[in-house]
A and B are shown apart, each in its own frame.
Chain A
């Protein structure tokens, strides 16, 4: 087919079927719009579903389960050796992804959303060309093209793994170097160490997970140190050379000293960039900031009033749940509703062992910006449920406004942190006070009680810890 041969029309065209795009398409269709969604890949779901969140969490679950089984000896259960069938694990992951992908297909097609596959670019603010398909004339467009892995820095060879490569489980290297101590690097490092690799981690910054409060990161690092061969912070990879017959020679610089180590594989997890190039933005008036993100207002509207942008192509954290919410907002605005992305917080979750999650104000932000706060920090060692499952490393902390007790932030490190953080997000969005968290009954015995306890500590009325001594 020749381009431009086929012409379609739609009220709304959504570019990209990731967690932002497909949600936007569904909402727009439910609001009575005719919708076309354009996706470059053959599968729907975007990076999140195909080579991000879903497969990585599937693998993390597997290695955690293995870990739990090994540690179950302590509590009186015994197993023969726990083995890993890599082939089966790979197939399981693909099955999970495919199930979800076809689910999205059903959700879209049952609503009459037309799915078009191909690379899209704007010809104007009314016309979108899809390679190999034709042109779409639209009233509104939603750009949800997501992000791609950053290019490899100088000194690397192309055969190193990206996180996407690693998620395909090509093999389990005996010695694996993970470059980048952000959440992707940590999660992938833990997966491969769980599968049997000896993992070394290199991070350029002085700490791992720079965005999170370091008291929380310390708990994670303590555990990671037991699983990893070595964690090198303040260090930089300067050269990666492929050896004849397999493996790599890697030069790492630390404190102006260089040393060369050998690894069977190198995994690079050093961030992502927005997919705002090659989609014809130059044929519109859409403004892009100096870092390549599309500038949008509260409604998700770009500087081209009929075109919206959501998710990783817009400023802010590159997270699927942010994209989904923005997708709903953009679709609702197009549908004539008074929606806006006025969210107070976007929760962040790291699926390490133990899990790490935070929402709202962090202590490091508060200190940097001089925002006064009071803190309640409840250790899991004082919690019945944590003791009974043998996972007492971690804590819940809550930041509140000193005068009003309004909940400003929450941080959790410990089992199920990823699930528990939702309560903190709800509290912040609702404008809840510490009293709201204290008075609401939290079921016993659960890890969620630690949120109530931390709120009590922040308010100065703790039950399961001793109140602060009144000296000074």
Chain B
């Protein structure tokens, strides 16, 4: 899965993620000395610095890495599986479905019964969205995929907004933005602990499809003749669908639907990995983590009286890439 040619790229990405991770721990609304905060944290002292770094910045940084990696990987896998460079969990409504599921669990107070119900809600929503998407698209081409995705994501966003307007809390209606665009503000280590297992499991499941994605690039028949089972309980399709739903569902349940990461990152890295789907997976995960950490740093830098949602920034980066794809498609057709 890891090609020797990609070592420099992977090392560079991993190093950048590490640097951004440390930066996001060191940098925030208030000046805190990171070394002394870490010492207090290790010693279990409840100093202000330890609380700020350990309880506010650490969950945010961990979620930035895990969610970014999951979204980046998910984009790469979906693009490989659908053989379509426009596939992205946000664009195709998978994140939107997950957000709807999570919102229904969170605002009805079900999440108070058991914290695990929150990612379960996200997972159910994401799974429903992926199954609907694949059912709608079938053997259709890019246009059908994008239409189905647009329909699914706007439908999910509308249902999310409606559900929140009907909730008893006076604040619920103002929080639509947080779920539709995504946010990492004020997350806790509890959020990390409920989101991380599903995210890791989903990512591992998606990574098992790497070789099959290479074969699929040559067509369904070729892949099957090479011994890859596409359908069935353990088939490639099931692994992609379940993996993406588990990973995206777990992420969105704590962060809301952060868009465009899965679209941009594989798109930028594809030329660097020889246009081979399997080689794209790991760099995409690292690239996604890097992009989300950078976007989160920008949120802290740019926010004024009210915080900018992180999804706004990823969309600002992602939409131009999308435009570029559209123009490229028109050129190739003309």
Same assembly = no
